[in-house]
Structure 1
Amino acid sequence: MSDLNIEGMALAEGVVETIIAIALKDVEGVASVGAPSTTSGLLSAIQQKPSTQGIEVQATEAGTISVSVRVEVYFGQVLPELANRIRVAVADAVNTQVGINVSNVDVFIDGIRFE
């Protein structure tokens, strides 16, 4: 996504994705965001900013945004319920912090972590 302009406020690429990544950390059952990988896990542990790999945001013509997230989840989760918690967390975080509505959140479960 390129810069997003909302009512005279410009958000640089990656700002909304970072907000979403932080919101996903607080969703019970989400093990990681993005494709499971030892390297990306190591890098995200070292970096100050959370990884936005696996998060895509697109502005819609209706003035909302469409979000797509790829997550790895913990074994034992009821997946439809977890996907719903993810949708709610993402929409609430973006609406609260940016003031823009999320039209949809597509959730892709890329793996299950057995811990």
Structure 2
Amino acid sequence: MSQEIYISGMGIAPEVLATVVTRSVEEIEGVASVGVKDLAANLVSMFSTRSASSAPAVEATVEDDKLAITVHLVVFFGYPFKNLAEIVRAAVVHGIDAQVGVEVSRVDVCIDGLVFPKE
């Protein structure tokens, strides 16, 4: 297990925060997956010269007793990135507040892959 993240007098495993973030955004219309996995990984590797990312799907650090979160996504083509990122940010802040109860200083959204519809 990874090193715990300490905030507001409690230690939280990064995997727990990743689960909260993933559950908060996985049902958002336009999000294919949180992180690069399964179908999305196969599509990215088939249609890209780069290999699928090995970075964690969700990263969290503590800055001034607030969480700074980075979430890596694969998204569906046709959803404007800026609008989708704003929806994801709001969902992450809400999910962390509701489940963990700590403030989020920022949410960085990284779009690591794009899935095109079948034609």
Same fold (TM over 0.5): yes
Q: Does 1:17 align with 2:18?
A: yes
Equivalent positions of 1:1-115 (< 5 A) are 2-35=3-36, 38=39, 53-60=56-63, 62-115=64-117
Any stretches of 5+ residues in structure 1 without a counterpart? 42-51
Distance 1:82 1:31 in 2: 12
Q: Report SS of the residue matched to 1:53.
A: coil
Any stretches of 5+ residues in structure 2 without a counterpart? 43-54
Q: What is the CA distance between 1:3 and its match in structure 2?
A: 1.7
TM-score by length of 1: 0.78
Give the percent of matched residue pairs that are identical in Structure 1 and Structure 2: 34
TM-score by length of 2: 0.75
Q: Report SS of the residue matched to 2:61.
A: strand
Do the aligned partners of 1:30 and 1:72 also contact (CA within 8 Å) in 2? yes
Give 4+ residue runs of structure 1 displaced > 6 Å after superposition: none
Do the aligned partners of 1:36 and 1:110 also contact (CA within 8 Å) in 2? no
Distance 2:84 2:40 in 1: 26
Partner residue of 2:48? none
